[in-house]
Amino acid sequence: MTFNEYQKGCMRAASDVCKQNKENMLLNGILGAAGEAGELSDLLKKEMFHGHPFDRGHYLKECGDVLYYLALVAESLDATLEDVAIMNNRKLLERYPNGFETERSLHRKAGDV
């Protein structure tokens, strides 16, 4: 499955309210991604501090939930997840042409977000 195929499948699962307009889709995507990222954080917290066992499958399911909401964000911006992945990869290659370097991380160019 490609990112684009996945994104199309996500649109079938989006609620009618989400699909009413781009603003609703953007809001739902951002708030949903934040909530699901919080669930990932909670898994780690429970593992580290509450004695819960590591559950790889649960982590992967939560990652999938984050990805679903990121697909909504991309769609609301008339972009694909593939567009986002390519853009991010180019940004990282420009920022760290020889791989990660702490010095380059500390002293990024103006406007490098």
Q: What pLDDT, in 10s, does the model give residues 6-65?
A: 999 999 999 999 999 999 999 999 999 999 999 999 999 999 999 999 999 999 999 999
Alpha helices in the chain (DSSP H): 3-13, 22-49, 56-76, 81-95, 102-106
In the chain, the number of structural domains is 1
Give a yes or no: residue 91 inside a domain. Answer: no
The domain in which residue 40 lies consists of: 3-78
Distance of CA 84 to the CA centre of its chain: 10
- Tell me the mean pLDDT in the region 52-79: 98
Q: Is residue 67 part of a domain?
A: yes
Largest distance between two CA atoms of the chain:
47
User: Is the whole model's pTM more than 0.85, yes or no?
Assistant: yes
Confidence of residue 111 (pLDDT cuts 50, 70, 90): confident
pLDDT at 113 exceeding the cut of 90? no
